[in-house]
Structure formats: structure tokens, C-alpha cells
Amino acid sequence: MWSVREVEGAPKNLLVLCTVQLTVAFIGLLVASSFPDCEFQISEEGFVYIDCIKCQNRLLPTSWHSIVLFIFAFVVVCIGVTAAIKRSKSLCFLYGRLMLFYALAMGVTSIFGQLGFAELESAVLTVRSEEECFKTAVKLMTTTQFLMLIHGIEAISDLVGAVFAIQSKELFEYEAISQLSNDYEVL
């Protein structure tokens, strides 16, 4: 059985980064669970509007793609934790590559979400018929903006973790050699 106190140096830093990544991914999942499910329509004049009749609550607390993203993040972070505990260079390399891919996906999601935010905002402003529909549209807009911010933070933390993991492959070995030389000097 291992203890966090036994892990020092680069592996401990990797464990901290993995914890931050998993926390941010979980926050993103919680934010996505409060997302209203609405359809957008395009009028004959070319304006985007929210079809309030088709707004509904989800059967699941969150969408399937949010759950898949969280599971992928969880699996990759578990690989990172295992790499840190075992000081495995190959697992660290795998974690770094997978997390780099995940950071790219989260970054692109955040950027495209922010690019489409102006269109969403104009669709919300067209809703004036029902107060309940307007509240749902505003909730959709604020939740989208917050979720894109969380995805941006997640992309940055994932990128930092990936770069650190790729660089720490060598740090694991250097620290092991340093520990061996310190143990040898004690003898």
C-alpha cells in the first residue's frame, strides 16, 4: 500500500496536477448538468431564435457527451496517477499524450463556444413572449458562458499537466538516480 507522503518531487507535482484536472472536469460536469435543453430555429428573415415550445428538462441530469468527456478525463487522470505512483516513464508518456489531446479538445470547445456566444445572445434577446421562456433562455446563455469558461480553465490545466508529464519522464529517472546516490553516500 502506498501513501501520498511516500511520493515526492516530480511525481507528487503530477499528483497535484491530476487532482486539479479532475476537480475542474467534475465542476464542468456539474455545470453541464444545469444546462436547459432547447432547440434553436432560424426565421425566414435569417434570425436565430429559441423555440420555447421545444425547451424541456433532460431525462438524465447531464448530456451523454458531457458524461463521455468526464469519463475520458477520469481515465486519463487515473493513468497519470498510476504513472506518478509507479514512477513509470511509459505511463507518464501515455498520460502526457492523451492529456494533450484532451486539452486540445477542451480548448477548441471553449473557443467555438465563445465564438457562437454572440449568436446565442441575440437569440435570447428575441425572446419576449413568455417570462418562463425568457428565464430559460437567460439560464441557457449564462450556463453556456460559464461552461465555456470552465472548459477554457480545463484546457489550460490539462495542457500544463501534459507538458509537465512529458518533461517529467526524465525527472523521474534523475530523482531516482539522485536518491540512489544519496543512499549510497549514507552507507
What confidence score (pLDDT) does residue 77 get? 93
Give tens-digit pLDDT for 2-19: 455 555 666 788 888 899
What confidence score (pLDDT) does residue 175 get? 56
Mean pLDDT for 145-155 is 90
Give tens-digit pLDDT for 109-120: 889 888 888 888
Mean pLDDT for 68-96 is 88
HEC readout, the chain: CCCHHHCCCHHHHHHHHHHHHHHHHHHHHHHHHCCCEEEEEECCCCCEEEEEEEEECCCCCCCHHHHHHHHHHHHHHHHHHHHHHHCCHHHHHHHHHHHHHHHHHHHHHHHHHHHCHHHHHHHHHCCCCCHHHHHHHHHHHHHHHHHHHHHHHHHHHHHHHHHHHHHHHHHHHHHHHHHHHHHHHHC
Average pLDDT across the chain, whole number: 79
Give tens-digit pLDDT for 17-73: 899 999 999 998 888 877 777 777 777 877 777 777 766 655 455 677 788 888 999
**pTM of the predicted protein model:** 0.76
What confidence score (pLDDT) does residue 103 get? 92
Instruction: Decide if pLDDT at 183 tops 70.
Output: no
